[in-house]
């Protein structure tokens, strides 16, 4: 049997790999993965849409010698089954090349190991590959040529690090959009993506080396998908489970009810989406966000669970189980992991529903609500609470005709409860609210209740003591307690 080595046709393979599906933001994030793996503490993203447009990612990591740089430019230069360092964010040995060439036709990488060495450069030029019909890696042959590459002077000043330079950005301005408009539209999206994907590195999470990312010298601030700065955010207990002697850590969070957030805060925690689509698992590989906003078909993307978010930390040693793709933007848990996650989903869904229904009210107080929720054979209905003190007072006084009229009015209100409109309003991420009662109206209502309750045997004093737990007084508990104190001392 004869054997031959059949080398792929370089121009065709390169063009095929360019269509792997990278967005600009995911491509930039892939390059930053390499910077973090190289121990960088500062990563600068520079871009210029004018003259000869370019995007450059510069880090202060360990850098590479000439031989290391050449190997790094090889497509698939890393063996997949070789055990990687636990902090390695790479996977297939393709990220640097596929991410870069998905956006540009000329990729230049300049690296410097230490201040005693000189910068080395390697260039993939797709026009050269097409002309030569071979995997031709261009190597600048003079210091003068290397020095003309943008930001090399900055690299020399640092003494070590790497420059990844994208030129001939043909994919950035694909279609009818111009290059300037493309930069204006897409670079803010890149900033938002980096702030979320690397938020744990940017915030300096404990036991994790913090990094600083800038875009044209403007700092990228970390996003906070769990809104940890709010005391109203609930962090449920963390669970660990083992797979192939590797630990997967799961930490659920329940966000504050929408009504407790300002407009700015609502935008901050929606992870570049809306509340409903931002719920679900947030899967991190070595603290780098891989994907978010999915329940992996273990639960519905429901309005009542949209406050629930689950942080899932997986090590890179389990990449083969999670079917991680080349772009590191998609993963799916194996069955052995799904069984554990499904149990956790059922537990946290109840917490989210409780917060959403009761808007953070304490379950320890027996609050008297104006509206009550009832489950019937045909579904859920809302009725006016006949045991509310105001309703009780009206139903126990007046003539029979007045009582019948009141009963009719309550029935009309219940039958026209705007449930569909309320559902649509809550789904729109707008904080549904009521105007409430001002201090004067609240005082008048309290006095009227206290006066009429005197005719109820032993009810007057007990009613006043319960007033802070009766709607609408419970909506302004501090003022109500002040009113109660004044009435007791009167």
CATH code of the domain in which 307 resides: 3.30.230
77/176 same-domain check: yes
Mean predicted confidence (pLDDT) in 360-378: 63
Among 162-171, 300-309, 343-352, where is mean pLDDT lowest?
343-352
306 and 336 part of one domain: yes
pLDDT mean over 328-333: 70
Instruction: Supply the CATH number for residue 131's domain.
Output: 3.30.565.10
Residue 27 sits in the same domain as residue 96: yes
pLDDT of 18 strictly over 70: yes
| Range 334-344 average pLDDT | 81
The distance from CA 414 to its chain's CA centroid, rounded to whole angstroms, is: 39
Q: Is the pLDDT of residue 43 over 50?
A: yes
- In a domain, residue 138? The reply is yes
pLDDT for the residue 81: 41
Does 327 lie in the same domain as 280? yes
* 293: its two tokens: 């906003």
Residues 6+ apart with CB under 8 A from 483: 442, 443, 446, 467
In a domain, 423, yes or no: yes
Domain that holds residue 449: 371-489
User: Do 124 and 167 fall within a single domain?
Assistant: yes
Query: Is 5 inside any structural domain?
Result: no
Spatial separation of the C-alpha atoms in residues 47 and 45, rounded to whole Å: 7
Q: Same domain for 99 and 240?
A: no
- The sheet carrying 212-215 orders its strands as 137-138, 120-125, 106-112, 161-167, 54-59, 42-48, 212-215, 218-219
Q: Are residues 351 and 379 in the same domain?
A: no
Kindly report which listed range (33-47, 71-85, 244-258, 390-404) carries the lowest average pLDDT score.
71-85
90 versus 414: the higher-pLDDT residue is 414
Q: What is the mean pLDDT of the chain?
A: 81
Task: Give residue 363's pLDDT.
Answer: 35
pLDDT band at 31 (very low <50, low <70, confident <90, very high): very high
Residue 226 lies in a domain: no
Each residue's pLDDT tens digit, 203-243:
988 788 889 999 999 999 999 899 888 888 888 888 888 88
pLDDT value at residue 354: 61
> 245-254, 339-348, 449-458: which has the minimum mean pLDDT?
449-458
Q: Looking at residue 431, what is its pLDDT?
A: 53
Residue 364 has pLDDT above 90, yes or no: no
409 with 469, same domain? yes
Do 25 and 123 have their domain in common? yes
Return the pLDDT at 244: 87
The whole-number average pLDDT for the span 139-167 is 94
- The confidence score (pLDDT) of residue 444 equals 84
Domain-embedded: residue 105:
yes
C-alpha dihedral, 152 to 157 to 161 to 166, nearest 10°: -20
pLDDT by residue (tens digit) across 59-106? 999 999 999 999 999 987 654 344 445 555 544 456 799 999 999 999
Residue 111 lies in a domain: yes
Question: Are residues 255 and 215 part of one domain?
Answer: no
Q: What is the largest CA-CA distance in the chain?
A: 108
Q: Count how many domains the chain has.
A: 3
Instruction: Say if residue 278 is in the same domain as residue 178.
Output: no
Q: Are residues 187 and 238 in the same domain?
A: no
Residue 261 lies in a domain: yes
Most confident of 234-248, 331-345, 440-454: 234-248
Q: How far apart are CA 175 and CA 43, in angstroms?
A: 31
Q: What is the pLDDT of residue 423?
A: 64
297, 331, 358: which is the final residue of a domain?
358
Considering the domain boundaries, does residue 342 fall inside one?
yes
The confidence band for 428, taking pLDDT boundaries of 50, 70 and 90, is low
Span 371-380, mean pLDDT? Answer: 74
Residue finishing a domain among 358, 384, 414: 358
Q: How is residue 10 written in tokens?
A: 């370089």
Percent of the chain with pLDDT over 70: 81
Given 313, 332, 358, the domain boundary residue is 358
Please report how many Cα atoms fall inside a 13 Å half-sphere around the Cα of residue 279, on the Cβ side.
Answer: 25
Q: Is pLDDT of 365 > 60?
A: no
């Amino acid at each position: 049997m004869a054997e031959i080595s059949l080398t792929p046709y370089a121009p065709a393979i390169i063009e095929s790999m360019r269509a792997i599906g990278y967005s600009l933001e995911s491509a930039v994030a892939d390059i930053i993965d390499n910077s973090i793996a190289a121990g960088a503490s500062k990563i600068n993203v520079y871009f210029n849409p004018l003259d000869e447009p370019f995007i450059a990612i510069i880090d202060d990591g360990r850098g590479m010698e000439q031989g290391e740089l050449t190997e790094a430019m090889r497509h698939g230069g890393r063996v997949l089954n070789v055990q990687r360092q636990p902090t390695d964010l790479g996977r297939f040995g393709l990220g640097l090349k596929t991410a870069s060439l998905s956006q540009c036709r000329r990729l230049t990488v300049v690296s410097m190991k230490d201040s005693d060495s000189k910068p080395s450069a390697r260039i993939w030029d797709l026009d050269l590959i097409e002309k030569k019909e071979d995997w031709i890696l261009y190597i600048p042959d003079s210091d003068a040529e290397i020095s003309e590459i943008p930001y090399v002077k900055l690299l020399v000043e640092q003494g070590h690090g790497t420059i990844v330079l994208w030129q001939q950005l043909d994919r950035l301005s694909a279609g009818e959009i111009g290059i300037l408009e493309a930069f204006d539209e897409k670079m803010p999206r890149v900033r938002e993506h980096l702030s979320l994907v690397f938020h744990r590195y940017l915030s300096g999470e404990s036991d994790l080396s913090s990094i600083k990312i800038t875009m044209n010298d403007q700092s990228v601030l970390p996003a906070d998908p769990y809104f940890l700065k709010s005391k109203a955010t609930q962090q449920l207990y963390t669970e660990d489970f083992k797979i192939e002697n590797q630990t997967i850590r799961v930490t659920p969070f329940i966000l504050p009810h929408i009504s407790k957030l300002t407009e700015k805060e609502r935008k901050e925690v929606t992870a570049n989406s809306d509340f409903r689509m931002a719920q679900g698992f947030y899967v991190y590989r070595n603290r780098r966000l891989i994907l978010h906003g999915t329940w992996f078909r273990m639960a519905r993307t429901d309005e009542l669970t949209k406050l629930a978010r689950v942080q899932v930390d997986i090590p890179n040693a389990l990449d083969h189980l999670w079917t991680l793709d080349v772009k590191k933007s998609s993963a799916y848990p194996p069955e052995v992991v799904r069984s554990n996650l499904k149990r956790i989903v059922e537990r946290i869904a109840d917490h989210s529903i409780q917060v959403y229904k009761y808007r953070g009210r304490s379950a320890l107080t027996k609050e008297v609500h104006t509206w009550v929720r009832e489950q019937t054979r045909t579904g859920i209905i809302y009725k006016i609470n006949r045991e509310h003190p105001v309703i009780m007072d009206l139903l126990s006084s007046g003539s029979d005709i007045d009582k019948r009229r009141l009963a009719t009015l309550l029935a009309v209100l219940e039958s026209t409860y705007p449930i569909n409109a309320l559902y649509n309003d809550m789904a729109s991420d707008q904080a549904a609210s009521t105007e409430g009662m001002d201090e004067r109206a609240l005082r008048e209502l309290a006095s009227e209740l206290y006066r009429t309750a005197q005719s109820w045997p032993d009810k007057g004093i007990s009613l006043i003591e319960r007033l802070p737990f009766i709607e609408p007084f419970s909506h302004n508990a501090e003022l109500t307690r002040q009113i109660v104190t004044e009435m007791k001392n009167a």
